[in-house]
Amino acid sequence: MSYKTKKVMPIGIVSELTGLSPRQIRYYEERKLIFPERSEGGTRKYSFLDVERLMYIAEKMEDGLQTYEIRRMEKQKNQEELRREMLRGQLNAAFRQRT
Amino acid sequence: MSYKTKKVMPIGIVSELTGLSPRQIRYYEERKLIFPERSEGGTRKYSFLDVERLMYIAEKMEDGLQTYEIRRMEKQKNQEELRREMLRGQLNAAFRQRT
DNA sequence: CGTGTAAGGAATTCTGACACG
DNA sequence: CGTGTAAGGAATTCTGACACG
C-alpha cells in the first residue's frame, strides 16, 4: 500500500491540512463521503488520499452543493469507471489482446 | 512537501508500522537519530521517511551497533553527499556546463 | 547502553445532544 | 442541512524516574 492511501493521520492533523473543522470532517463521514479507519481505541485514522478527497468535498460545499449531491456525483463517477473497465475487459476477451 | 516527508503521524502509528515500542522510538530521538516535529500541545509528529529511517535504525541495532555508531555513519554519509555536490558545483563552474 | 514499566498529568479524540437557521 | 459548542469520558501521549544489566 502506498503512502498516499495508508491511514495514519489523526483528525487534528487532517483538520490542519484541510482547513476544515473536526466537526465538519466527522459530519462528512456521517454522510458517507469519507471513510477513515479506526484504531483499537476508536480514534479515526486518515490517509493523504482522504485529505485530498476532503479538499475536493470542501470545494463542492463552497459551490453550494449538498452532501448527498456530492455523494451522488462520486457514485456516478465510480460507475462510469466500472463501465469503462468492463468494456475494456470485453474487448480484450473478444480480440485476445494483452495490454 | 511530499507525502513522504510531511510529519503527520502520532507515535502509536509509527510504533505499529515499525514494530518498535514507543519507548524505543523516543530513545532514538534522545540519541539524535530521529527528529519528529511537535504539535502545539507537544505530541510528536512523524513522516513516512521517519518510519523508513526507524526501520533502517532497527536493522543496525539488531546488528549490534550502538546508537552513536549509527549516528556517526549517518553523518559520514551526509558529508560524502555534500562533498560530491560541492565537487559537481565546482566542475559546473569551471566548464560552464549545465545539467 | 538500551529498554521495560508504573505514575501522574496533559493533550487529543470520541459520542450524543442542544442550538441556530 | 451543515456546523458550532459545552459535557463527560475514554484513548493517547508526555515526561522523569527507577530497574536491570
Q: Tell me which of B5, B6, B8 to substitute to probe the interface with A (most A C-beta atoms closer than 10 Å).
A: B8
Count of alpha carbons within 13 angstroms of residue A91, beta-carbon side: 8
The span from the CA of B24 to the CA of B12, in Å, is: 12
Express each pLDDT in B35-91 by its tens digit: 999 999 999 999 999 999 999 999 999 999 999 999 999 999 999 999 999 999 999
SS3 of A93, please?
helix
Cβ–Cβ < 8 Å for A48, A3: yes
Q: Is 3.40.50.720 the CATH number for A11-95?
A: no
Cβ–Cβ < 8 Å for B45, B9: yes
Express each pLDDT in B30-51 by its tens digit: 999 999 999 999 999 999 999 9
Per-residue flag: A10 CB under 7 A of strand C: yes
Domain spans of chain A, in order of start: 11-95
How long is the CA B14 to C1' C5 vector, in angstroms? Answer: 20
Position A1 scores a pLDDT of 82
The set of strand D positions with any atom below 7 Å of a protein CB reads: 1-5, 10-15
Closest-CA distance, B3 to chain A, in angstroms, reads 7
CB contact under 8 A, A3 and B39: no
Express each pLDDT in A18-77 by its tens digit: 999 999 999 999 999 999 999 999 999 999 999 999 999 999 999 999 999 999 999 999
Express each pLDDT in B9-24 by its tens digit: 999 999 999 999 999 9
Position B25 scores a pLDDT of 98
**Residue A99 grid cell:** 495490454
What residue type is B77 in one-letter code? K
The span from the CA of B26 to the CA of B35, in Å, is: 10
